[in-house]
Amino acid sequence: MACWELGIQLKRDWLPKAEKEKVKLLVVGIGTAESAKEFAQQVGLAPEMVFGDEEAAAYQSIRFVNSDFEEDGRQRGMRMMTQKTADAVRSRANGRPVSFFGLFDVPFLMTNDDLETAKEIYKPLMPEGDNAMDKTLVQGGVLVFNGQQQVYKHRDTSVGVHAELSKVMAALA
């Protein structure tokens, strides 16, 4: 769901700044080309800027965090949701604890307006077939290039811990 939250933010916040600065924004997600098109349509991005990586090959080649977590010895899936996830979601506009029917807040479970909107439009578009779970449990990130030179790299350390737009744009200055 955090990818859908980010998609909403890309459309609303990132794309206008990128267009103003004449920066090309491309989105690559795990899944088929058809999944990429569906995602683009749901969050309101132009389909020609959203690409599907069915085998997660791009993620692996640029060494974004994969689901085996061999780099720090944790078991599979242990990094997907951490306190960093809650902190990141809470830090975004209108971040707040999830409420259980208005009776009490659920500890360490956070939401915000974009995440709530994402829940409304979310469709499961995960890969299928062999190693589908390993392909799905991949953290993403952001790469920024000036021509062929990489000027910025952010690796998501946990679900929802996305790059900050101000840092991305500063890298292009």
**Per-residue pLDDT tens over the stretch 59-98:** 888 878 655 545 455 555 556 777 787 788 778 877 777 7
User: How many domains does one find in the chain?
Assistant: 1
Q: For residue 57, what are the domain limits? A: 2-172
pTM of the model: 0.80
Tens digits of residue pLDDT in 2-32: 789 899 999 999 999 999 999 999 999 999 9
Beta strand ranges found along the chain (DSSP E): 27-30, 50-53, 96-100, 104-111, 141-146, 149-155
* Tokens matching residue 35: 């999944």
C-alpha R_g of the chain: 16
Task: Identify the sign of the CA torsion 126, 73, 63, 57.
Answer: negative
**DSSP label at residue 66:** P
C-alpha–C-alpha distance, residues 111 and 97, integer Å: 6
